[in-house]
Structure 1
Amino acid sequence: NSIFALAKALEKTQKLLNALENVIIPQYKVRIKFILATLEEREREEFARLKKVKAVMEKKK
């Protein structure tokens, strides 16, 4: 009886592990890539904006 319970628990744990490895972790990796790309794009936009403001300020002098 306890061997069957252990086998069932092991099977359940293996299913959870497979779900993590094959579905959940890859989804999070995709989300992380998207977030990093978005942050990098915002950083580039901010840099360009600051450069433009600086150029306008220099022109006014």
Structure 2
Amino acid sequence: MTTVIWAIGLVLVVEGLVLALAPLRLEEMLRKFAELPIDTRRLIGLATTATGVALLWIFRLVSS
């Protein structure tokens, strides 16, 4: 449970930094992202999820 709380906290820190340091750039990126076809957005989401899972799996193997 502690790991989950750490993970959520890190996500909030990173997202908060993006909003605090580059709000206009984020707005521009969201506009461009909205222009992408839905299948492309879905593929980006799946690729991002797979990359995150792979990183966590590798980290767990290395830290054991």
TM-score by length of 2: 0.42
The structure with more radius of gyration = 1
Give the helix-richer structure, 1 or 2. Answer: 1
TM-score calculated relative to the size of structure 1: 0.44
